[in-house]
Structure 1
Amino acid sequence: MRSKAHGFVYLDIIVALFIFGLGFAVIFGSVQASYLKQSHTERYLDAVNLASSTLNEVVDDVDEDPAAAAAYLEGEHKHVVGFYNVVIKTEWAEADLLSVTVEVTWLEQGRNKNYHVQSLCHVPG
């Protein structure tokens, strides 16, 4: 006699749903990791742009008015832009070369991150 069992067994359906659920979990985990990486990249690029533009402002100020170099030598200049802390440090590298360092720090996922850029600026005597 021949058995006429048609359709799926309950266990087959449970196993298929489990595999389907694992696939969705992997996809959603990848999306979340991608979002976190994209957020990290945006903040890092914002910090790079902020440091570069701040450095350009300082160098332009010194180029336009060499007396402005003295104003930047009065210690560190600190200010906050959004959730970034910006520190401008200057010191004389040579008699007519001013070393300008801009450091940008921020907090990301409970950890301090930083980016700094440094340049030399010629200050005519």
Structure 2
Amino acid sequence: TPNQDSLNLVTAALSESTDNVDATKNAISLGGAVLNAVNCSSAPNCTALHRQRCQSIAHTCGACETGYIGETGSSNAFCVRSAVASGGRRLTAQSCESDADCGEGWEVCDKLTNPLNPVCAVPQKQCPN
């Protein structure tokens, strides 16, 4: 296992550092790093969520990438482009023919409001009965 491998590495470094103060300091430093390492083995694909890599909370992606917004701080929630999410509206509506034209954010192609000139829009939240 990775934890056992890390422990073996630190143990070997300490064993080899006998009578060498600098080597002992390095082995202790390595041991501290191993003990403080965050377990990210079950973190999701942070790139797909537009988040920074897992590094401070176990199994959790970091903050949203630059240019994206979402749940603050470390999280596994999806981040959207800030241009898409700013107030839920663009300064000028983007015309579309299908949802794919609206990018990777929360918007969908709204063909119901204006069927002759559909635009990308954030859909209304649907509540369960």
Same fold (TM over 0.5): no
Greater per-residue strand proportion: 1
With normalisation by structure 1, the TM-score equals: 0.30
Which has the larger Rg? Answer: 1
Higher share in helix: 1
Relative contact order: is structure 1 or structure 2 higher (C-alpha 8 Å, sep ≥ 6)?
1
TM-score (norm 2): 0.29
